[in-house]
Every structure is written in structure tokens, then in C-alpha cells.
Structure 1
Amino acid sequence: MSSDTLTRIRYRYLPDHLIGEILSKRWIDNAVPFLALVVLVAVFGIIAPGFLSVSSITDLGRQVAEFGLIVLGLSIVLMSGGIDLSVASVFTLAVLASLIGTNVEGFSVGLTAIGVVFLGVVCGSINGYLIGYMRLRAFLTTLVTLIIFRSIYDILFLRMSTAIVASFSDSDFLFFIGSGTILGIPFSLWVTLIIAVGWHIVLSRMRPGWRLTAVGGARRSAYNAGISVRRTVFFAYVWSGALSALAGFLFAARIGSTGADTGVGLEVSALTAAVLGGNSLGGGRGSVAKAAMGALFVLILSNNLTNFGVSGPVNSTILGCVLISSVFIDMRWLRNRHKWLSKIYVSPAYLQLPPPPSATDANSPYALNDKLRSVEIIGLGQIDGPEDVILDRDDNLYCGTRHGDIVRFFGPDHKRHEVFAHIGGHPLGMQFDRDGNLLVCIGGMGLYKVTPQKEVIKLTDETNRSFLSVVDDSRLRLADDLDIAPDGRVYFSEATIRYEQEEWATDALESRGNGRMICYDPRTGTTKTEIHRRVFPNGVCMANDGVSFLFAESWIATINRYYFDGPKKGTIETVISNLPGYPDNINRASDGNYWAALLGMRTPALDLALSMPGFRRRMARRVAPDLWLYPNINTGCVVKFDEQGNILDALWDLGGQNHPMITSMREHKGYLYLGGVSNNRIGRYKLPDADPNWTAQDFYWGREGSSRT
């Protein structure tokens, strides 16, 4: 078996790219603490007698309910970019207040619980006001409030200890809170689970959670985005105090007493649990699951160390070492994550292209020429990055710019221009629908519509997610080009699901089937993926039969035809299989044929490298991105072809003086208008023998907007 065959098999059936995709997921942060937790449970399950017994698990559940609330509150503060060292002192104050309320004063359980939580809110508000509104340092502020709250506890405990010991509550409900179960699960754990689920929804699905992580991740940016940073920080500490106080109430209901050492060192344990679970000390990153895993790990470790006779100071030392290790790993991961991912994520595929057709042979249909050398220039220096161009029935010329605008040049001379619409992103492929609305693919945003009244409407920014996809391919990363079927369905290409628009060249380095063709149906408002695993699908153009469309696959230099209706529905046919360059947009010609833009020319070095995925992998890992092998985009070309794939004409700007990179072209009233994503101009080329009255809109939709038959 040849080495090429082995290489082909290895890179086809061993999906290396999945490793990078898995490591790029946000939940991968949970993998290490989860595996550590599993190992810890397995070890103590073997060496600790009765560790997995029902009574032991039930008792652990009650401790998790209390400790988990403290860790959750601290994690909320960490996500906001702060730290709360006073959680242990708030916890001990809450324990004391609970015992005074139920045992000494004889208040009802409900009233006591409300009062205790309110006490936690007051303590959290003090921290929140000093840190959020007064802008004091979180570490020093909560260190001081830790001492103050603990001192208040010590003073009150000395005065009330005798009364607490001498009295007790005979409330069955309080006993049920501390020792009761529902379906075999401790009542206190049910309370914590409900709160945890609620906070998971808040953090992952609601605006307060998004604002919290935004403030923690980049406080200045969050402020500039209109988020009330001070209020967000304030309420983070309020919630920390409230949850710590609730934990103290549950502890008092379970134990029924307190002592001078209650809560001592608890802040270290809680901080260890929060960081060990994966909540970042730097802010902006965390979750309820991380807090829960950290709490479980710390409780299991400390409880079993105590059961094995390890003294308190040694136990605390071990937890301190775990905390230092967790902080070290967290900081190293945050600092180097993108660097490590960049070396793993890029995963080239094996691709062997046939030798490209000659363009230097005078008898070749691709023979070099200078037909585009002296084209008329429109909008020189007034636009940047017109990836696609299109004209309406009134001869107005439209193009997108990398600044997020759609610019309109007024016909017939195209001297004056205006910003027709500001969308954001980078407008790419464009097409007019039956009613004169301009449909636009926006890189990183999806499919949009601009009405003749300049109203911008989002049509879709997601599609159905693939069942086996690791990356979230429901979000549209790089919607590229589109065309509209006679019945109004919109078919558009998404060049890649793995990279953003500014990383398109990295997709060229991979040259694997990262792209797809998608259908948006305006009648139902639904979007679905029509064709999977295409190699940088690009230009889209409806064929003359009305039941199929042509689409380009850039990196394999191919133009295909897909039947979305009719007897051949669902089939793909190759129209042109070996172009000399990389095809981009495809559009109709006045004689019933098609124009295709070649955004760049193939080179022997890159063609050879495509059959050497190992070489490209090493290049991606060891060489700076600006030194990688990229497609040659310095020479532009436009070809005309028929539905059988015959090349009818080729238009070159051999020196690349006017159009070094051509990504689109539109025929309109005897002229060919040229756009390029790297250009700062639009070209207009006079087509010999072309119909001077032909327009794409009238040809396709009819003069009155009725669909062509």
C-alpha cells in the first residue's frame, strides 16, 4: 500500500479536528475537576469503610447543601471580578442568629429564616456598597468585614451561649429542615438544588447572568456597553451574603448548637472549592456546576482526612496546597489556552488536486490576456472591501464594505453615492428578491434583508444543529453568497463552521469539508442545512431550469450543481472539476450562460502542500500565521461557462493593476461590474456583443416582479 493511500486513510478516518473542537468548548473547563472528583470518589470508596453507605451519602448531602450555598455565593462574586472573604463570618453570624431566634426567643421557623436571610443581605450590602459604589479593594474590604463580623459573633456568643445551651426548639418543622428527607434526599439538599438550578438559568439564559460575567470579564467594556457595573457588583455581594446566611440557617437546623470554632477556616475551604471547580479568580468565567463540583471535592477530601485521624492544622494545610495548585493551573490555563488551542485546533485534511489547466497556452480556454487592464474605475478610495456588487432596475450600483455599510452609487454614471444601510459585520453576497428587497449575507451575523425604504430586517442567524457536531454549528459564522429560487426560498452558502470571517485563510490551510449549503424558507420562517461537509462553499446561482443551483467549492477549484427539486432532487453533479484558480461568486450572463469569479490562482507549492497534511500541521504549530502558505490572491480572473462546464471566455487583469483579487461580477446592460473583497474600487468592463438592455432582475423576476417561467 502506497504512502499516499495510507496518508489518505489516516486523515480521513482519524478526525484530529475533533480534539481541538472539544478543547475549545466552554464545558471543557469542567473536565479536569470532574475527573478529579471521580478519582477522589473511587479512591475513598475503596479505602474508606462505609464511604458509599446510604447513611454516609445522606450525611454528605446535608453538608453539601450548606457548604454548596456558601461556595455558590462566593462563585457569584468571583464571576463579577471580586472576592468575598467574609462568607465564613456571615455564615457564623447566621448560625448564631438562627439559634437565638428559634431556641431563645421562640420565634417561628419561617420568621427566623426570613430574619437570618435579611441579616445576610445586610452584611452583603455593606460589602457591595463599599466595593461596588465606593470602589474599595475587594480583598482588603472583605478581609476587614470578615474580622468585624467575626468579632460581633464572638461578643454575642459570649453573652448568649448559656441561653442557647439551656434552651432548645421543639418545632417539628425545624427538625425536618435539619434531618428530614423527601424521596430519600435530605430536605436541605432539595433547597440547595432548587436554588442551584435557578442560578444556572440566570447565569446561562438571562440578562443578569450575562451582565455579571461581562462585568467580571471586562469591566470597562461592560460599562461602555451600558451595563450598570456598580449595581451589578453590589448585588453580587448581596447574593453572596444571602446564600451564606441561608447556609448558616440550615446548619443551625441540623446541628442545633454553635461554638467558638464554628466557621473557622471556612472561607479558605469555600475559596478552594470555588477555584478548584473552575471558577476563575480573574472574573468573567464560572458556573453553578463548577461550584458544585468544587464543593463536593473539598467536602469529601476534608471529611475523609478527618476520619483517618488527620489533625485540623494538617487538614487546612492540605486544602491550602490544593488552593495554590488550583490557582496556578487556573492562571496558566487562562494565559495559555488560546496558544495551546491554536496548535491543536488547526487540523489539515488530505487533499490531492489534479494539475491545473494551463493558462499560458494560447489554445487554452483560460489563456492569459489583459482584457481587464483598462476597465473603468468606480468609487476609487471611497469604499473598502466590496466583496459583491449588484445593480437594481434603475441602474443604481450597490456594494458592501468591511465597515458594515451597504453603499449605493446612483446611476447611470455612478459618481454620487450614499450609505444605503448600515448593518454591521461585513456584507458579502447580495441578491434582489421579487419585491425589490435586497437580501444580504453578513459575515458573522447571518442572512438579512434591506427594504427599498432602507429598513434592515434579520431573516435568520442560525440553522438546525447537526446531531454529531462538536462545535455549535447552529450559529452562522460565515454566511457567504446567496440566490433565490423562483418560489422565494433562499439558498445560501456558509463557507466554514469552524472559523470566523477574518480566519478564512486558516480554513484554506485545513481544506476540509467545513462548509455547507443552507435553505431559508420565508413562507415558514425556517432555516435548515441542505448540504453538509463542503470545502469552502462560496458562490451560489440558480440554474436556468428553476430546480437546481450552481455553487462553488473554492479550495478544491470546483463548481457543482445541486438539484433541490424535480426528478434529481438531492443529487449533486460536478460541472467544472479543475479550475486554475479558486472560484468565488457565480452569476447569470445575458446569453443564458454564467459568470464565475476566481478570487486567486492556484500555485504548485500550495497544491503540493494540500497532499501533505502533516507538513501543514507542523507549519500551523511552528510558524507564525503571517508566514503560512496561502492561496495566491494577487491576480484576478473572470470566466464564462455553460451548464456543461465548457469555458467560453476568460477575462484577466494580468498584472493585477486594477483588480488584484476578483470575488464577484454582475452583468448589467452590456457591462460587467467587478468587485473584490481586498479592493477599494469597483470595475466596469464593456462587454462586446452583449445585450445593452439586459438586466438580471428583469430576466429572472420579470419587469413587473412576476417570476420567470
Structure 2
Amino acid sequence: MPKDAFALTGMSWRHRFSFQRSLAELLGKRWMEAVVPCLLLVGVLAYFGVTADGFLTLDNASTLSQNFAELGLVALGMTIVLIGGGIDLSVGAVFGVVNGFALIAFRLLGWPVPLVVVAAVALGALLGSVNGVLIAYAKTRPFITTLVTLLAYRTVAEYIDTMYSPRMATTTRIDPLWDLLGAGRLAGLTTQFVLLVVVALVVHVLLSRSRWGWRITAIGSSRTSARRAGMNLPGITFSTYAVAGALAGAAGLLTASRLEQSSASTGLGMEFAVLTAVVLGGVSLAGGRGTAMRALIGALAVAAISQGLTLQAQPRHLYSMVLAVILLVFAAADLKWGKNRGKAIQKIYMAPGRFRLRASPDIYQPGGVWELNDRLTGAQAIGLGELDGPEDVVLDERGRLYCGDRRGWLWRFDGPDAPAELVARVGGHPLGLVIDKDGNIAMCVAGMGLYGITPEGQVTPLATDVKRTWYRINDDSAIRLADDLDVAADGKIYFSDASTRFDGDEYFLDLIESRPNGRLLRYDPDTGQTTVVLRNYAFPNGICVSHDGASVLINSSNLYRIDRFHLAGPKAGQLEPFAENLPGIPDNINRASDGGYWVAFAGMRTPVWDLAISMPKFRRRMVKELPFDEWLVPNLNTSCVIKITEDGQVVESLWDGQQKDHAVITSMREHDGYLYLGGLTNDRLGRIALPQHGIPARAGSERVVSTS
């Protein structure tokens, strides 16, 4: 069980949970798109439950499940076609033709039931394939094509009714398997409903988990893009109509086994009911959007309306009118919901918290440890003009220097005066770097996770997700903002995930929200497993294993503090303060050769921001009412590095008082008597010499004494 760092935030427990944030996270779920269809379904069931006698009985539930299953199978086929950017108006006629054929094959021809089932589904697929050939290969219009085949198939259904209905009326045949299809039960449920559930699960998996389904969605979203991606548009389009025909045929077969009769009007108007059902379920008529489950929600609503009106003894023509009215009202409500849902999420997703901060230390005392100086001014520039935002820097045993930049590239310098060598393109923005136990580079990549890179440039993802916390609304399995790391003596990599709510390019939003959204993670290279060690931490940034290897130091940028998490010893698993109430925003932290630690300040505290942190309503209103470029944000333009002892005492500070070369310093690394500087927004790395007694000489000095 990972530890919880909330107690160290200083936030009161009543501010730990936010209804506003929970609501925003709920609205952001994909299944919330189905809220309007679900409310419609609940409303329909509630209305007929009150107004229609017998609607809430078990007998009616059984009948409703049968009608729903038959309508639902056709709706699933229509959904596949619509997602692919087409439309099929012939499904009702296919339903009627297969219904009559199944009865002929069973009662007049005496075929075995399994053969009837296969033949009926195959006939439906064949009729659907006619649409597919014309639309996919002959390039005819889907609407006109399926309208024509609707008329043609309806003629076939009328022919079957005229030629065979009299003979079927005088012929009977009893078969247990046929009765199981029409009126049987499996596990207490009607056979039709069980079959619908199985088919719906298969369709759901195909649409959401298979290449076939992904390609259907891609074609429906943009045929041009799908064609340029090399997809077989005719083949995939053809398959959607064939599958839709097969499902309509299966529905016709079930109706034949249930009612034991057929007529020219069987399936008449079904295309309108099915289109209404899928639209009510949220399947887009424009293509590219829809799911099997949402189509079934709409189908159940339509089936319930039909059953409810029947129990109320309403005239049949009222059914079409009710569907039309409901469709019109739903379209308006769903349009409003679709437009305003995203706006609502944007307005309430950020739920600022309130921290209790002590007054910032006075750093303006002359002669004090915080006195402004120019010790970093004039630092030797490395990679000037070649780098863009090298957030961190690390050196290997051979003294080769590595750094990343915002373009997603990893650079190597064989020496401070050597030219830059491109090692690898990672794809995301590299942040923290470290050399692992095998001599490879372990890298935190914003928005991607933890990656490993060999000196030859081979990139391997090490940790991109963790096990999701079961009780959280927001999916926290993805590693969204991995930003710094260090390697323990046993080879395990400890790294920070600064926010589970905001991505790498949105880090400032987490700073403004100021809630404990971060966590400490551990990657085990022996097992390949990544676990959460510490959760509910306020923007964990720098990570550094202590000199004795018994603990991990964690910088909290939001709380201006450094904490120690014990890995071994009597305090194993405990989190305790290490350096509190710092005057700046701590970023990366690394070990110093004299037993202390170097800490980079990305910015300094300001009275106005300290005040804003205590005013969550102010920050919420600011985000809602002001444009982005007018937001009040933390100060992030300070060039400062500090030295902290093993017991958490600040003993010196190094500044670039002119801020000419290093406007922001986010990291530093000591190596062979030099201190190397990295900055998230800088165009270079820096290097200064360290003298023997730990107090840096003025940058540019030629005197160099190793402290290692």
C-alpha cells in the first residue's frame, strides 16, 4: 500500500476532497456522452411504468426483451455502417425477406434447424453484400442505393407472402431447437436476449479493439485521410454492409421462430425505428462516432416505447409520431449537451486548493546566506546555439555530458568544448536524466513516462503506466508528468510524477491549482514493474537518493520544501520534513561531493503569489474570467542554486545576478570539480569551477580544485 503524503501539505482535511473536481472528472468520462440517451431511457421506462398497466410485470419484461433483441441486432448492424460513413435503408426489407425464407426452409422444405440458421444469416449477408458491391466498388451513393434495394427487397418479401403464405398456414412442424430460438430460455433469460448480449459484446470488441473496427472509424471520420494511410476503403466498406445484412438476417430468423408467421408487412418501417434508435444512442449520421452499447441504449428506448404504446392500446400510427417527436427533442437536447459539456469541464476542471504557508524567509539581509551575488554570471557556455531548453544534465564515467531539449532530442558532448552529437530522438520533452546501473541513460519524458537510452541511441520505454487506483474517478494509470529521477544502490529507479491530472505542457496549471496531485514512483529493472511508493504529494519535482542510500529526498515545488522518504532503517516508509519554508521554488536536487546537496531554484516566492495560494476562490475566478496570458502565475525566472547540508541547513547560495546567460536554472550536476547548469528555457548549458572549500569561485576563474 503506497504511503499518503497529504498530511504534510498543510491543507485541512475538509479541503482534501472537492465536489467540483469530482464533477469535472465525471463529465470528462467518455461514457458521460451517453447521459442524455440514458436519461431518455429512464424517462421512457418510468413513464410507461406509471401509465401502462402491466408494463412492469415479468411477462412484459420477457416480451420486451425479445422485441429489444430483434431490434437491437439490426441496430448493431446499422451502427457499423454509420460509423463507417454509410447508411443502410434496406435493413427492414432484408429482415422481412429472411423472415419469410426461414419459415419456408423450416416448415416447407424441412431443413434441419442448424442449416436454417446458417442459411438465414448467409442470405442476410448476401443481400447486404449487394449494397456493399454497389456502394464500395461501383461507387454509388449509399442513400440512393439502399433506397433502391429497399424497394427491390420489399418486392421479394411481397412475392414470398403471396406465393408461400397459404401453404405455410396449413403446415406445421415441431422442433425443440426451433422452439428454443423462439420461446426458449437460457439461464432464466430469453434466448433472443442472450444472443443479443453475445453479439453486442463481439461487436463492441471488434469496433473498439480490432484493426477492422479502428479502420471503420477512420474511414467514417475522414475517407481522404484513411485512403492516404493506405487503407483498403472498398473492402472495409463492403464488409460493413455484409455484416449489417447478416445481423438483419439473424433478427429476421429470431422473429420467424418466435411468431411462426410471415407477411408482406414484416419489417415494414423498421429502418426508421432503427435509425431513430441509433441516433438516440448517439451514433453520428456523419460517421466516425458511435459505440455498440450506446446503440443498444437507443434500441431499448425505442422497443420500450413500442411496447408501452401497445399496452396502452394506442393506435399504431401514433408510434411513428412519438418516435419523431422524441427524436426531435433528443436531437436538440443532445446538441446542447455536446456543446456545453466541454465548456463546463473547462470551467470547473481546475479546482484550486488552499495551502497554509508560513511567511517567506527574509533573503535581503546583507551578508546573509541569501545575499545576491554573481557567482554564476559568465559561466562557460556549452552547446550555445544548438540546444533548446536543456532541463537537466548528467555525465557518465568517461566524462561525457548528456542533456535533452524541448524538441525531444538527447545530445552528447565528449567535452565542454566538443561539438554536440545527437544521440537519439525520444519524441517527448526530456526532463530528468541519470546514468543507471548498466551505464545507460534513464530519462523522464514529459507526457510519456520513464525511458531508457543506450549510449548508441537505442530508445526503450521502461515505465509508461502503473496500476490504476480503483477508487479514483480520474484514471491515474498513465504517467503524465515524469520530471526527475535517481538510481538507488540496488538499481531501482525512483522518479516523480508531478501531476496525475495535467500533462507536461500544462505543468503551470497544476502549480495554479496547488493540490497534492503528484506521486513518487519506483521502477524495478529486474522485474520491469512500476509501483506507486508515495501518493498525494504536492508537485514532486527533484528526486535524489541520499548519500547513504537509506532515503530519497523529494522537492515539493508547490510547498517550497524538501522532504525525506526513508527506504530502510527503523523509519522505513515514513516521510518527514528535510528543509521547510524555502524562499524559492525548488526544482532538481543532486548530491554534492562534500556530503551535502545542490538544489536549483526555478523561481522565487513573491508576496502576491503567497497570498493567492491562500485564496482558492480568487484563483478559480481568475482562470474562468481572464484570458490565459493575463493569469497570475508563480515566478519562474530566477537564476539560483543553493547548497544544503545533510541535516537540511542552507549554507550558501549561488546567483546569476544579471540573468544574462541563465535566465532559469532548473538543474545542476557536480562532476570533477565543476558544477554544470541546466535550464528549462535556456539555449545552453553552463559550467563553473568549484574551489576546494565548497564556496564557488567567481564564474570564469581559472582556479579549479577538485572536491571529489
User: TM-score scaled by structure 2?
Assistant: 0.91
Cα pair distance change 1:563/1:55, threshold 3 Å = same
2:670 to 667, 671, 674: 667
Q: Counterpart of 1:490 in structure 2: which amino acid?
A: I
State how 1:498-517 maps to structure 2 within 5 Å: 498-517=501-520
Q: Is the 8 A contact 1:442 1:478 kept in 2?
A: yes
2:36–2:333 Cα contact (<8 Å) kept:
no
Give 1:367 shift. 2.1
2:291 is the alignment partner of 1:287? yes
**Residues 478-532 of structure 1: CA distance to partner in whole angstroms, max 9, x if unpaired?**
1111111101111110010011111111111111011100111122222111101
> Bigger shift: 572-581 or 130-139?
130-139
Residue 627 (str. 1) matches residue 633 (str. 2): no
Are 1:94 and 1:119, in contact at CA under 8 Å, matched by a contact in 2? yes
Determine the structure 1 residue equivalent to 2:64. Answer: 60
What code does the residue aligned with 2:682 have?
N
Per-residue CA shift, 1:16-62, capped at 9, x if unaligned?
A: 31111111111222344334333433332333222222221111111
Measured after TM superposition, the shift of residue 654 of structure 1 is 3.3
Query: Alignment partner for residue 268 of structure 2, among 264, 267, 289?
Result: 264
1:473 aligns with 2:476: yes
Give the one of 564, 573, 580 matched to 2:567.
Answer: 564
Is 1:199–2:198 an aligned residue pair? no
Residue 700 of structure 2 aligns with which residue? none
Partner of 2:355: 351
Return the letter of the residue paired with 1:469: R
Unaligned runs of 5+ in 2: 1-10, 695-703
Question: What's the counterpart of residue 94 of structure 1?
Answer: 98
Answer yes or no: is the 8 Å Cα contact 1:102–1:168 preserved in 2: no
Q: Distance in 2 between matches of 1:337 and 1:643?
A: 51
1:124–1:657 Cα change, 3 Å: farther
Structure 1 residue 687 corresponds to structure 2 residue 690: yes
Alpha-carbon shift at residue 560 of structure 1 (Å): 0.9
1:238 to 238, 242, 245: 242
| C-alpha contact 2:54 2:311 (8 A) present in aligned 1 | no
Query: How high is the TM-score relative to the length of structure 1?
Result: 0.91
1:168: how far off? 4.2
Shift of 1:604: 2.4
Provide closer, same or farther for how the CA distance between residues 283 and 334 of structure 1 changes in structure 2, counting only shifts above 3 A.
farther
Instruction: Give distance in 2, aligned partners of 1:533 and 1:424.
Output: 28
User: Residues 257-312 of structure 1, C-alpha deviation per residue, up to 9 Å, x if partnerless?
Assistant: 22232222212211222222233344444333212222111111121123213323
User: Which segment is superposed worse, 448-457 or 276-285?
Assistant: 276-285
**2:53 corresponding residue in structure 1:** 49
- Is the CA contact (8 Å cut-off) linking 1:666 and 1:673 kept in structure 2? yes
Partners in 1 of 2:136 and 2:491 — Cα distance?
53
Alpha-carbon shift at residue 465 of structure 1 (Å):
1.8
**In structure 2, distance between residues paired with 1:149 and 1:358:** 87
SS of the equivalent of 1:91 reads helix
1 CA distance for matches of 2:364 and 2:140?
72
Tell me the secondary structure at the aligned position of residue 556 of structure 1. coil
Match of 1:611 among 609, 614, 624: 614
**Matched AA of 1:600:** G
Write out per-residue CA displacement over residues 597-642 of structure 1, whole angstroms, 9 at most, x where no aligned residue: 1222222222211111111112222222232222222233221211
Question: Structure with the greater relative contact order (CA < 8 A, sep ≥ 6): 1 or 2?
Answer: 2
Q: Is the 8 A contact 1:600 1:631 kept in 2?
A: yes
- CA shift in 2, pair 1:537/1:233, >3 Å: farther
Quick one: distance in 2 between partners of 1:557 and 1:134? 68
Aligned ranges 1:292-331 → 2 under 5 Å: 292-331=296-335
Q: Output the aligned Cα RMSD.
A: 2.5
Deviations 1:143-194 (A, max 9, x none): 3433343344334444444344444443332222111112321122222221
Aligned-partner Cα distance in 1 for 2:225–2:635: 38
1:429–1:191 Cα change, 3 Å: same
Structure 2 counterparts to residues 448-597 of structure 1, below 5 A: 448-597=451-600
For 2:705 and 2:134, how far apart are their aligned partners in 1? Answer: 73
- For the residue of structure 1 that corresponds to 2:194, the secondary structure is helix
Q: Give the superposition deviation at 1:226.
A: 5.4
* Secondary structure of the structure 2 residue equivalent to 1:471: coil
Distance of aligned partners of 1:572 and 1:77 in 2 relative to their CA distance in 1, 3 Å threshold: same
Q: Name the CA distance, whole Å, in 2 between partners of 1:627 and 1:230.
A: 51
CA distance in structure 1 between the partners assigned to 2:156 and 2:402 by the alignment: 72
Partner-residue secondary structure (3-state), 1:518: strand
Q: Which moved more, 1:308-317 or 1:524-533?
A: 308-317
Contact 2:406 2:429 in 1 (8 A): yes
Aligned to 1:16: 20
Amino acid in the other structure paired with 1:653: D
8 Å Cα contact 1:124-1:238 kept in structure 2: yes
Q: Which residue of 1 aligns with 2:132?
A: 128
DSSP 3-state at the match of 1:325: helix
Q: Secondary structure at the match of 2:669?
A: strand
Residue 3 of structure 1 aligns with which residue? none
State how far apart, in whole Å, the 2-side matches of 1:344 and 1:28 are: 16
Query: Is contact 2:599-2:643 (8 Å) kept?
Result: yes
1:382 aligns with 2:367: no
Judged with a 3 Å threshold, the aligned counterparts in structure 2 of structure 1 residues 674 and 145 are, in CA distance, closer, same or farther, namely: farther
**Letter matched to residue 679 of structure 2:** G
Contact 2:560 2:583 in 1 (8 A): yes
In 1, Cα distance between equivalents of 2:431 and 2:277: 48
Cα distance in structure 1, aligned partners of 2:492 and 2:519:
16
Change (3 A) 1:679 1:317: farther
Corresponding residue number in structure 1 for 2:371: 367
* Residue 450 of structure 2: aligned partner: 447
Residue 340 of structure 1 aligns to which amino acid in structure 2? A
Which residue of the other structure, out of 651, 657, 661, is the alignment partner of 2:660?
Answer: 657
Does the CA contact (< 8 Å) of 1:394 and 1:411 recur in 2?
no
Residues 386 and 420 in structure 2, CA contact (< 8 A), matched pair in contact too: no
- Report the alpha carbon displacement of residue 460 of structure 1 after superposing the two structures with TM: 1.8
* Equivalent pair of 1:636/1:652 in contact (CA under 8 Å): yes
Contact 1:98/1:116, CA 8 A, preserved across alignment:
yes
Q: Once structures 1 and 2 are overlaid, which stretch shifts more, 221-230 or 296-305?
A: 221-230
Indicate the larger mover: 502-511 or 603-612.
603-612
Give the CA deviation at 1:591. Answer: 1.7
* Greater alpha carbon shift after TM alignment, 583-592 vs 158-167: 158-167
* Stretch of structure 1 that moved more, 286-295 or 167-176: 167-176
Does residue 178 of the first structure (1) align with residue 182 of the second (2)?
Answer: yes
Q: Name the residue aligned to 1:702.
A: none
Larger deviation, residues 225-234 vs 391-400: 225-234
Residue 135 (structure 1) shift: 5.4
The Cα shift of 1:541 comes to: 0.5
Find 1:434's aligned residue among 420, 432, 437: 437
CA distance 1:523–1:57, shift in 2 (3 Å)? same
Q: State the AA in 2 paired with 1:51.
A: F
Task: Report SS of the residue matched to 1:497.
Answer: coil
- Bigger mean CA offset, 181-190 vs 482-491: 181-190
Q: Structure 1 residues 450-459 or 35-44, which shifts more?
A: 35-44
Distance in 2 (alpha carbons) for counterparts of 1:125 and 1:21: 43
Report the Cα distance in structure 2 between the residues aligned to 1:229 and 1:662, rounded to whole angstroms.
53
How much does 1:549 deviate? 0.9
2:503 partner amino acid:
E
State the shift of 1:662 in Å. 1.8
Following the alignment from structure 1 to structure 2, what is the Cα–Cα distance between the partners of residues 221 and 578? Answer: 54
Where in structure 2 are the equivalents of 1:412-423 lying within 5 Å? 412-414=416-418, 416-423=419-426
SS at match of 1:418: strand
Q: What is the aligned partner in structure 2 of residue 645 from structure 1?
A: 648
Q: Distance in 1 between matches of 2:682 and 2:140?
A: 51
1:590–1:690 CA contact under 8 A, matched in 2: no
In structure 2, C-alpha distance between the alignment counterparts of 1:349 and 1:95, rounded to whole Å: 63
